[in-house]
Amino acid sequence: MLRTLSIRDVVLIDRLDLTFGIGLGVFTGETGAGKSILLDSLGLALGARAEARLVRGGAAQAVVSAEFDLPQEHSVLDMLAEHGIAVGRDEPLVLRRVLAGDGRSRGYINDQAVSVSLLRRIGDELVEIHGQFDNQRLLNTSVHRVLLDAYGGHGDLLAAVGAAHRDWRAAVDARKRAVDALEEARRDEEFLRHALGELDDIAPEPGEESELSRQRQGMMNGEKLLEAMNQAAKDLGQGRGVERMLRDAVRALEPMVEKTEGALKAVLEPLELAQENISEALLQLERASQRVDLDPNHLEQLEERLFALRALARKHNVTVDDLAVLRETIAARLAEVDDGDAGVRKLTHAQAAARKAYEDAAAALSAARVAAADTLSHAVMAELAPLRLGAARFSVIVAGGGDADAWGEGGWDRIAFEVATNPGAPPGPLGKIASGGELSRFMLALKVVLSKADPVPTLIFDEVDSGIGGAAAAAVGQRLARMADEVQVLVVTHSPQVAARGENHWRVSKSAAPEGVRTRVEELSRADRQEEIARMLAGERVTDEARAAADSLLQGTES
């Protein structure tokens, strides 16, 4: 709810700080005293359109701050979190607007700069202002469905419809993807079968390119390799041969090892090892020379396969190693063609079942809405007669079905609040049928019935009692007070019957000051309230009879 309102340099207000509480708060004062300035000031903080004329003459800028206590888990907290603004559990929410003399303005939420559009979105969730000619929230048909569902307690039904709609849309998307894939596969079927045949004929294997390249390189250098190995064998066997010379040297030294008490052992061991290594090297050299492939036919076959693999890879714009994967992909696509009709039929059945589930859920929600609409219509009608709207008719229209493309997570119904102000007249939208004064009273009747269903915590009525008096004005006051038991209600009024209902009462007045005319707002005591209500009853000259009548009104509301 609105806790405080701070106004600096707005029109005729230089400095004003107001503190609000729960219950019904009323603002009274002479016509032209400046009550509209209070609403314009609050509107600035709530993101309303800013005009340079609102800046007090001689001031550089106007500043308005509105502080709110938020109910726990209010939707505003999620909206703020989306924009990186965190509000603690016991922390107030402060909306502030700074308006320069040239008409430019800046918005802040808890001292963090924000766009005016965000300020307006937050403000719409916190305060609802009902004036005779304002574009009021309840005139927006998109809000009517939300209010009817809240009034009827349709939360579980809405959740079921939302889940069913998401399942249905997912089934529609899955079938569409399958149909598109099948159509694409059929368009490419001839190419795919030809490509699969080529891949099956060549049967590529992972890593085959590198192995073929290695073998090809070895065969291309085979003659040189064989020549080098033959030369090495020749060099090792030239003359007596390295292996024989080492063997002769070992034989010559072996008998002398013991006679020299082991002194030649250190010489003999490396010679023996060298002899073994040379023997092994000659053996491996012979084996390697035997493995050298100099067959030109084999080289030709190897190159043909390697080049065929590379050509096929270029054709499909993949690497040679990916040809095997490509083959599996093409085979899978062709399997979709072969099995596609069955798959699409299965998804079509799933889509139909999901739609049926949605239709069942939406029908249940629609039936609940029709029942709630009837209850709401009768409840609002019961409020109209005491407000001097007894001839009017209020109805909640629930139009279901329609184009399936318009069905959504909220169901298929279109909800509208309609009225007929004269007997026999056709009903129509609230904003087009009711006059300004009638519209305010219609809104009051609606708000009284919907006060628990509507999440907006602060309601402001601007001259909702315009054009009525006596019993009708008393009925307006009673309903405002009753509504204030559920939400915070502030009202600008010229009706003494309404003013007497207020738990808090402020008087708005103009006074001359050295710097010019100023608007003042003062909270009234019990005695001051009696005098103010007497003025409202008597006019310019307050009589004792008017004071007595005022006291009677106050006592009647206090009892």
Helices (H), 385-463: 430-433, 436-450
d(CA 473, CA 444): 12
Provide the pairing of β-strand 105-109 with 488-492: unpaired
In a domain, 211, yes or no: yes
What is the model's pLDDT at position 296? 62
Written as six digits, the tokens of 188 are 């490419």
Neighbours of 268 (CB within 10 A): 16
Structure confidence at residue 136 as a pLDDT band (50, 70, 90): low
d(CA 97, CA 191): 67
Q: What is the span of the domain harbouring residue 308? A: 189-335
In a domain, 250, yes or no: yes
Q: What is the secondary structure of 373-404 as a DSSP string?
A: HHHHHHHHHHHHGGGT-TT-EEEEEEE----G
How does pLDDT run across 324-351, given as a tens digit for each residue? 888 988 888 788 777 777 888 899 999 9
- Name the residue with higher pLDDT: 230 or 451: 451
d(CA 505, CA 66): 19
d(CA 41, CA 64): 6
Written as six digits, the tokens of 183 are 């159509």
Q: Is the pLDDT of residue 234 over 80?
A: no
What does the angle CA 386 – CA 392 – CA 393 come to, to the nearest 5 degrees?
A: 115
**Mean pLDDT in residue range 420-429:** 81
What is the model's pLDDT at position 278? 77
What is the model's pLDDT at position 61? 93
Structure confidence at residue 162 as a pLDDT band (50, 70, 90): very high
In a domain, 545, yes or no: no
In a domain, 220, yes or no: yes
How does pLDDT run across 239-261, given as a tens digit for each residue? 567 777 777 777 777 777 677 76
Task: Mean pLDDT check: name the lowest of 21-35, 436-450, 468-482, 539-553.
Answer: 436-450
How does pLDDT run across 188-222, given as a tens digit for each residue? 777 888 888 988 888 888 888 887 777 666 666 55
Q: Is the pLDDT of residue 4 over 90?
A: yes
Domain count, the chain: 1
Q: Is the pLDDT of residue 91 over 70?
A: yes
Task: Mean pLDDT check: name the lowest of 71-75, 130-134, 468-472.
Answer: 130-134
Neighbours of 440 (CB within 10 A): 27
Q: Is the pLDDT of residue 17 over 50?
A: yes
In a domain, 316, yes or no: yes
Contact 133, 462 (CB under 8 A): no
Q: 64: which strand partners?
A: 7, 97
Q: Is the pLDDT of residue 459 over 70?
A: yes
Task: Mean pLDDT check: name the lowest of 166-170, 339-343, 493-497.
Answer: 339-343
What is the model's pLDDT at position 218? 62
In a domain, 207, yes or no: yes
Structure confidence at residue 133 as a pLDDT band (50, 70, 90): very low
**Mean pLDDT in residue range 86-101:** 87
- How much is the mean pLDDT over the chain? 84
How does pLDDT run across 368-377, given as a tens digit for each residue? 999 999 999 9
Specify the pTM.
0.63
What is the model's pLDDT at position 413? 93
Amino acid identity of residue 15, one-letter, is R
Q: Is the pLDDT of residue 131 over 70?
A: no
What is the spatial order of strands in the sheet that 414-420 belongs to?
393-399, 414-420, 428-429
What is the model's pLDDT at position 408? 93
What is the model's pLDDT at position 135? 45
The closest of 236, 224, 223 to 283, measured between CA atoms, is 236
Task: Mean pLDDT check: name the lowest of 52-61, 104-113, 461-470.
Answer: 461-470
If DSSP codes are grouped into helix, strand and coil, which group holds residue 451? coil
d(CA 127, CA 249): 113
Q: What is the secondary structure of 339-350 as a DSSP string?
A: HHHHHHHHHHHH
Percent of the chain topping pLDDT 90: 28
What is the model's pLDDT at position 355? 96
d(CA 375, CA 227): 107
If DSSP codes are grouped into helix, strand and coil, which group holds residue 128? strand
- Name the residue with higher pLDDT: 60 or 228: 60
In a domain, 286, yes or no: yes
What's the alpha-carbon Rg for the chain, to the nearest Å? 47
Distance of CA 420 to CAs 98, 166, 430, 432, Å? 43, 39, 9, 10
Structure confidence at residue 435 as a pLDDT band (50, 70, 90): low
d(CA 522, CA 140): 35
d(CA 536, CA 29): 8
Could you tell me how far CA 43 lies from the centroid of its own chain? 27
Contact 132, 466 (CB under 8 A): yes
How much of the chain is in helix, strand and coil states, percent to nearest 5? Answer: 60, 15, 25
In a domain, 509, yes or no: no
Structure confidence at residue 412 as a pLDDT band (50, 70, 90): very high
Helices (H), 136-255: 141-152, 155-187, 189-202, 208-220, 222-237, 242-253
Could you tell me how far CA 483 lies from the centroid of its own chain? 33
**Mean pLDDT in residue range 406-421:** 90
